[in-house]
Structure 1
Amino acid sequence: MNLKPIFADLHIHIGQTEDGLPVKITGARNLTFDNIVQEASHRKGIRMIGIIDAHSPPVQKEIARNLDEGRYESLAGGGIRYRDTTAILGVEIEVRERGEGAAHLLAYFPNLDTMRAFSGWMSRFVKNMQLSTQRFHGSLRDLEGKVADLGGLLVPAHVFTPFKSVYGSAVDRMSDLLDLDQLAGVELGLSSDSDMADRISELERFTFLTNSDAHSLPKIGREYNELLISEPTFLELKRALYRQEGRRVLANYGLDPKLGKYHRTRCLNCEEFLSLTVSGRCKYCGSTKVVRGVSDRINQLADRPTHHPDHRAPYIYQVPLEFIPKLGPKTLQKLLNRFGTEMEILHRAPLGEIAELAGASVANYIRLARERRLEFEEGGGGTYGRIRSLGKDRGVSGDSSV
């Protein structure tokens, strides 16, 4: 069978239902299931999206209605298609065991029926099924088993983030919390990359994922994956994660970790960057309001130098268009009108044409992003990093297509 590359962002939250019922409290109000599939298909150019919070009963009613009306199509290989984009139904679950801190897990299911079955089972162990990322009060082993019984995929979410992740707030070793044999892959999160994660030997066996964890429509696609599959379905996603029959993740596209909002350890009181201290106090102001950075946490956990297994996909630093200085919404719309999608602008659009529409400065930033030559001011403590100004703009000349 002919295999082809597609882009996939597998962690997108739902803010509200179309009727205004809250789902992800911190999500944008216009972040509905239907708006997500439209954004991914028409504006982003992403062929596969994982829509988290599909466990919510009112969301499931919306999906069912659109399926009945023929707006969506349920695929034989799993997934729900809207135009040329397939939505994979997912859920984020908060777990905590043996007195450890909380961690978030992602579970994906083939279709609406299996998602409904999982929701019915999980409703016995959470307080509010309508809302996102509910605390699970049952046995973690039973949860792992139920996902497997329903043919689902289990993936630890943003594993190094200082709040509610396996390594960031729960345990020093993933195997102390989870049955590694039950996991289909590992999601890295915005403040880390493969070089950092491959310093931890127990992660060597897993396929890495880089996803947006979008809480608003513009954030969709700020991190994503390139999959080599035959068609965008749940079954093909499963084969890619387990690297079966030639399917695999071709590349992870993610922020340079320096742009991540938890990359460096930072004091929230005086906003100074720190190195980790035993006392947990800021050496500048004495505050205990210190947020541990992902880079420092990985330095604590690393049990070897970086070692990439043969199956590891290349990690390609991606600078989302929202980070590009001097690129406002009106100019972005001009670029979209010309080139179609953000993926096209980021990867393939001729730089000379970008310069004609958006100016030499924007084109130059995009060129440097493609060449991985941008410089950054590091993020930490909940504040994103940013691209350093180029100073005097340098134009783009000649045929600058890529």
Structure 2
Amino acid sequence: MARYFADLHIHIGRTRSGRPVKITGAKSLTFSNIISHARNEKGLDMIGIIDCHSPEVIVEMESLIASGEMAVQAGGGLLYGGMAVIPGSELEIYDEQCKGPIHVLCFMPGIEEMKEFSVWLSERMKNINLSSQRIYTSGRSLQEKVKQLGGLFIPAHVFTPFKSLYGRGVSQSLKEVFDPDLIDGIELGLSSDTNMADGLTELHRYPFLTNSDAHSLAKIAREYQAIEMNEPSFMEFSLALKGEGGRRILANYGLDPLLGKYHGTVCAECLAPLAVEGEPCGECGSRKTVKGVADRISELSTAKNGPGGRPPYVHQVPLEFIPGLGPKLLQKLLWHFGTEMAILHEVPREAMEKVIPEKLLKLIILAREGKLLLKAGGGGKYGKVES
């Protein structure tokens, strides 16, 4: 078995013809651009593209297979030059039981299962062409359909204040919304990490995933995981989530939660940090707040310690967060060292000091070591690296 880097939450902004899929996604986020960028510049071994239910995206996938640019894998998923592509769908649940909105990720073994899933979804949503659309059925009904098709079901960015399982007080427990036995993993989101999430006893049974939720090419792999498998494929990923046969998640790589957009509680009007929710903002006087992930998890926490055997969570600062590292210097690094994964994990200091200024080199090394000074984000605004 070997180590593979995987980011399993990447959006499509536009189809090949220019039709919108994820409205807030960049126009450059086409299926073909994503697979090329993820493999060649980010250095990923497996990706999940979670808007593959859109009919035009299905047509593009079939076209790439027909031309020989992609191939169907025996173990599930599609193969693009050694990188596995797992077709997925992000959906929004909102019904009388869960009250929502809650986002979930559904992954399919292959293109045929995704085509069947797309037809089923088209009868239960208003616009099958768009991403993250509301599906008019219950969470449990959706889970059952995903499992009928041999798929994987993962609640998405579960702590963010908007459109998540625990956000904004929507749910106190996943049992209110889902069948716990039909959940394959939990996606943490950018503003939390393993230690924070393990405060919830009911999450101890599930593996944690750290994905980018990328809305642009640059955001791909801002969070990801290293997985030990025989090969990057749907079946091997499924076995790794269960920890079967030596397959496992080796490590989660994610933003320090302070950098996440919703880590701290802030004033909803001016985004000033608030020590106490509901108190008047010292900057503008408003009482409107956006509760941060840290405070929400504190409300829900029932455990002091997590289960044994969790993979390490490595706090990582993506290169785009490094102050002063603009597009030209980043391209220079990529030209010399290949991929962002190589720069973040493997390239020796001695090699990089020949390419970039000493100040930037120090920041990258501090980022590797988790020693950068950070200013917390909140209310939809990312945290910052203090240079």
In structure 1, the partner of 2:62 is: 64
Q: Please list, as runs of the form range in 1=range in 2, the aligned pairs for 1:81-230 lying within 5 A after superposition.
A: 81-97=79-95, 98=97, 100-169=99-168, 170-230=170-230
| TM-score between the two structures when normalised by the length of structure 2 | 0.97
The answer as to whether partners of 2:98 and 2:177 remain within 8 angstroms in 1 is no
Equivalent-residue separation in structure 1 for 2:184 and 2:275 (angstroms): 34
User: What is the Cα deviation at residue 101 of structure 1?
Assistant: 2.5
In structure 2, give the amino acid aligned to 1:247. Answer: R
Which residue does the alignment assign to 1:399? Answer: none
CA contact (8 A) 1:335 1:357 kept: yes
The CA deviation at 1:249 is 0.3
Q: Which 5+ residue runs of structure 2 have no aligned equivalent?
A: none
State how far apart, in whole Å, the 2-side matches of 1:226 and 1:127 are: 37
Paired residues of 1:80 and 1:86 also in contact (CA < 8 A): yes
Q: What amino acid sits opposite 2:134 in the alignment?
A: R
Q: Is 1:335 aligned to residue 333 of structure 2?
A: yes
1:256 correspondence with 2:256: yes
Aligned to 1:400: none
Question: How much has 1:287 moved relative to structure 2?
Answer: 2.1
Aligned amino acid, residue 148 of structure 1: K
* C-alpha separation in 1, matches of 2:157 and 2:18: 28
Q: How does 1:2-17 map to 2 (within 5 A)?
A: 3-17=1-15
Counterpart contact for 1:17–1:59, Cα < 8 Å: yes
Q: Find the aligned partners of 2:43 and 2:159 in 1 and give their Cα distance.
A: 28
In the TM superposition, what are the counterparts of 1:209-288 in structure 2 within 5 Å? 209-277=209-277, 279=278, 282=281, 285-288=284-287
8 Å CA contact 1:242–1:248 kept in 2: the answer is yes
Note the C-alpha offset of 1:370.
1.4
Q: Distance in 2 between matches of 1:280 and 1:127?
A: 40
Cα contact 1:275–1:296 (8 A) shared by 2 = no
- Contact 2:98–2:171 (CA<8 Å) still a contact in 1? no
Match of 1:358 in 2: 356
Q: What percent identity do the matched residue pairs reach? A: 51
| 1:74 partner letter | V
Q: Secondary structure at the match of 1:273?
A: coil
Q: Distance in 2 between matches of 1:275 and 1:301?
A: 18
Question: Deviation at 1:281?
Answer: 5.5
Count, aligned residues: 385
Identify the residue that residue 27 of structure 1 maps to in structure 2.
Answer: 25
**3-state DSSP of counterpart to 1:274:** coil
Alignment partner of 1:303 is 2:333: no
**3-state SS of paired residue (1:316):** strand
Give the aligned residue type for 2:104.
L
Match status 1:369 vs 2:367 = yes
CA distance in 1: counterparts of 2:42 and 2:326, whole angstroms: 17
AA aligned opposite 1:333: Q
Cα offset for 1:355? Answer: 1.9
The CA distance in 1 between the partners of 2:100 and 2:106, in whole Å, is: 20
Which range is displaced more, 366-375 or 193-202? Answer: 366-375
In structure 2, distance between residues paired with 1:116 and 1:281: 51
2:175 partner amino acid = S
Counterpart Cα distance in 2 of 1:213 and 1:221? 9
Segments of structure 1 that go 5 or more residues without pairing to the other structure are 390-402
